[in-house]
Amino acid sequence: MQISISRKPVEAIDTDALIVPIFEGAREHRFGAGPLFDSGEATGKALDLTLIHHAPEVAARRVLLAGAGKRETVDTAQVRRLAGAALRFLKGKSVKNMVLALENGWATGEFVSAAVEGAILGDYEPDRYKSGEDKGKNVVESFALAAGSDSEDLDAAAARGRLTAEAQNFARALVNEPANRLTPTRIAEAAQQMACDFQLECEILDRDRMSALGMGALLGVTQGSDEPPALIVLHYRPEKPVSQAHLGLVGKGVTFDTGGISIKPADGMEKMKYDMAGGAAVLGAMRALAQLKPRIAVSAYMPCVENMPGGRAQRPGDIVTTMSGKTVEVINTDAEGRLILADTLTYARQQGCTHLVDAATLTGAIVVALGHHRVGLFANDNAMRDRVLHAAEMEGERMWPMPLDEDYLDYLKSPFADLPNVGGRWGGAITAAMFLKAFAGDTPWVHLDIAGTAWLDDGKPFLAKGASGLPVRTLVRLAATWKD
Ligand code: BES
Ligand code: ZN
Ligand code: ZN
C-alpha cells in the first residue's frame, strides 16, 4: 500500500474515497451531509460510518463520513482506530484509493503517525492459508492524508508510522502462524532473517548452550517435546549512545501450550498457538528499533519451546535448578511460562541488561482481573513502571498497574524447594509475577501479562480477529524516547 501526504485542498483531491471525520454534536454541512445529520443517519459517534456517493462540491468519487466521537476528547488512539475502521470498511467495498482529511490540529507528527499506523494495521488480514477466491480480492493501493499546512516534517512522521505498524504486523503474522508451521526452530530462522534484513546482531542458543548455562527450568519445560528449544537473542547497539542504560526485552515464546502433563481441556486449546505473543512482540519491537535507531542499547531475548506431554515430559513434583541457583518445585506443568522466563531473565541480567521489560501470555488469572481491555503491568521499580505506563498511554495500548507486595510471597511456599511454580487459588496473575520478581533481582523490571490482550476472539472494526500485536508500540516508544 502506497502511503503519502497530500497538500491539496480536500475538495480538489481526485480519489475513490475521501474520508471526512465528523464529530458528535457538530453538524457537518459540507458534502451534502447536513440532511444525514438531521435525520440521525450520521451521528459522529466513534467509528460510526456513513458513505455518500456523488457528494456535491468535491472531486472524490465518494465521501465517507467517519465518526470520531466528541471533538474535545479525540486523541491519537482515536485517530488510529478511525483510520483503520475507515480503511477496512472501504476495502470491503473494493475501494482502492483513499484519502483521510486531517482535521485542524491533526497535522502533527503524532497524529499523522497514528493515522498511518491505523491504516496499515487495519489492512492486515490473517488469510495466509486461505485459498478461496475471496483471498486477496480487495487490495488497497493507496492511502493518503490530506494536510493543509505543516509545521512538522509529516513525511517523516508517516514513514515512522509505517515502519512501526509493519513491525506490529510482523509480530501479528508470527502469532497467527499455527504451531505445526512455526516451531521454535522456525521462529529462530525467522528472527535470523529479520536480523539480517535490518542489520541486527542475532544469536541462537541451543539445548547444549542452555545446559552449559545451567538453565534447568527452561530445559525442564522443553524436555517433553520432540521440537528442539531455541533461545533467540538480538542486539541493537547505537553508534553514539546517549545513555549507559542497556534495555533488555524478554518475551515468552511457547509455540504451543498443551499444559504438558497437567494437560489443558480440549475446548479452545487451539488458541494456545498464541502463547508466543510476548516473544513475537519483542522481535517486532526490535524490527522497528533497528530502523528508528534510538541512542540506547537494546537487546531482545525470546525463549522458544513447545510445552508437550509425553514419555520424556517433566512431571508435577519434579524439582529443577534454575540458572540463578534457586530451585523450583514444578507443581503444575501448565505454569511453564514463568519457568522459561526465570532462566531468561537471569541470562539477560548476566549479559549486562540494566533495565528489563518482559511480555508474556502468562496467566488466565489476568483475564479474570482485567478482562480483554488492559494489559496487567507489574514492576519492582516505580520509575521503570512510570516509563512503561507513559509509553503505553501515548501509544493507546492500555495497561493497568498491579501490586507486588511482599505479602503475596505467603502464597508461594514449597516444602521441598526454594519456590513452587504456582501459588494457591487467589491472585494468580500476582503470584506468577512474584515468581518472576525473584529472578529480576535488583534490576529495574516491568512484567506485562498480555494473556487477555494479545488475541482478539472477535475482530474489531479497525483490526482483524486473531493476534493484536500488543505491546509492540509500547516497547518501541519506551526505547525510542529513553532518557536517563
Ligand atoms: N499460557 C497460559 C496462560 C494463558 C491462559 C494464556 C489463557 C492465554 C489465555 C499459561 O501457561 C498457563 O497455562 N497458566 C496457568 C497457570 C496456572 C496453572 C497456575 C493458568 O493461567 O491457568
Ligand atoms: Zn501453560
Ligand atoms: Zn503458557
Tens digit of pLDDT for each residue in 227-261?
Answer: 999 999 999 999 998 889 999 999 999 999 999 99
Cis peptide before 229 (omega within 30 of 0): no
Q: What's the gap in Å between 361 CA and the centre of ligand 1?
A: 7
Residue nearest to atom 5 of ligand 1 (CA): 364
Residue nearest to atom 17 of ligand 1 (CA): 335
Quick check: CB of 428 below 6 Å from ligand 1? yes
Q: How confident is the model at residue 71 (pLDDT cuts 50, 70, 90)?
A: very high
pLDDT at 285 over 80: yes
Contact 142, 438 (CB under 8 A): no
Which ligand 1 atom lies nearest to the CA of residue 362? 3
Q: What's the gap in Å between 415 CA and the centre of ligand 1?
A: 24
Given the residues 80, 338, 349, 477, the one annotated as active site: 338
Amino acid (1-letter code) at residue 139 = V
Q: What's the gap in Å between 249 CA and the centre of ligand 2?
A: 21
Which ligand 1 atom lies nearest to the CA of residue 334? 13
Mean local confidence (pLDDT), 383-402: 98
pLDDT at 43 over 80: yes
Which ligand 1 atom lies nearest to the CA of residue 432? 19
Which ligand is in closest contact with the Cα of 367?
1
Q: What's the gap in Å between 339 CA and the centre of ligand 3?
A: 10
Q: What's the gap in Å between 260 CA and the centre of ligand 3?
A: 10
Quick check: CB of 337 below 6 Å from ligand 1? yes
Contact 169, 182 (CB under 8 A): no
Q: What percent of the chain has pLDDT over 90?
A: 96
pLDDT given at position 132: 81
Burial class (CB in 10 A: 0-12, 13-18, 19+), 75: middle
Distance (Å, rounded) from C-alpha 223 to C-alpha 220? 5
Residue nearest to atom 11 of ligand 1 (CA): 335
Distance (Å, rounded) from C-alpha 75 to C-alpha 79? 7
Quick check: CB of 365 below 6 Å from ligand 1? yes
Residue nearest to atom 13 of ligand 1 (CA): 334
Query: In terms of CATH architecture, what is 2-131+142-148?
Result: 3-Layer(aba) Sandwich (3.40)
| Residue 338 annotated as catalytic | yes
pLDDT given at position 135: 79
Quick check: CB of 363 below 6 Å from ligand 1? yes
Contact 252, 163 (CB under 8 A): no
CATH node for 179-480: 3.40.630.10
Q: What is the DSSP string of 256-288?
A: EE--TTSPPPSTTGGGGGGGGHHHHHHHHHHHH
Which residues neighbour ligand 2 (ion) by CB within 5 Å? Answer: 257, 334, 336
Which ligand 1 atom lies nearest to the CA of residue 274? 8
Which ligand is in closest contact with the Cα of 305?
3
Mean local confidence (pLDDT), 85-97: 98
**Tens digits of per-residue pLDDT, 341-365?**
999 999 999 999 999 999 999 999 9
Mean local confidence (pLDDT), 182-210: 98
Distance (Å, rounded) from C-alpha 318 to C-alpha 305? 18
Mean local confidence (pLDDT), 9-18: 97
Quick check: CB of 421 below 6 Å from ligand 1? no
Which ligand 1 atom lies nearest to the CA of residue 422? 19
Dihedrals φ, ψ of 101, to 5°? -80, 120
Which ligand 1 atom lies nearest to the CA of residue 336? 11
**Tens digits of per-residue pLDDT, 98-145?**
999 999 899 999 999 999 999 999 999 999 999 987 777 899 999 999
Q: What's the gap in Å between 190 CA and the centre of ligand 2?
A: 24
Which ligand is in closest contact with the Cα of 334?
2
pLDDT at 204 over 70: yes
Q: What's the gap in Å between 467 CA and the centre of ligand 2?
A: 18
Q: What is the dihedral of CA 388, 373, 115, 10, to 10 degrees?
A: -140
**Tens digits of per-residue pLDDT, 446-457?**
999 999 999 999
**Tens digits of per-residue pLDDT, 292-335?**
999 999 999 999 999 999 999 999 999 999 999 999 999 999 99
The answer to whether 2-131+142-148 and 179-480 have equal CATH topology is no
Q: Which region holds residue 103: left if phi is over 0, alpha if psi is between -120 and 50, else beta? A: beta
What is the residue extent of each domain of the chain?
2-131+142-148, 179-480
Distance (Å, rounded) from C-alpha 319 to C-alpha 58? 72
Q: What percent of the chain has pLDDT over 70?
A: 99
Q: How confident is the model at residue 372 (pLDDT cuts 50, 70, 90)?
A: very high
Query: Which cell goes with 388?
Result: 512503561
Quick check: CB of 269 below 6 Å from ligand 1? no
pLDDT given at position 150: 66
Given the residues 71, 96, 207, 264, the one annotated as active site: 264
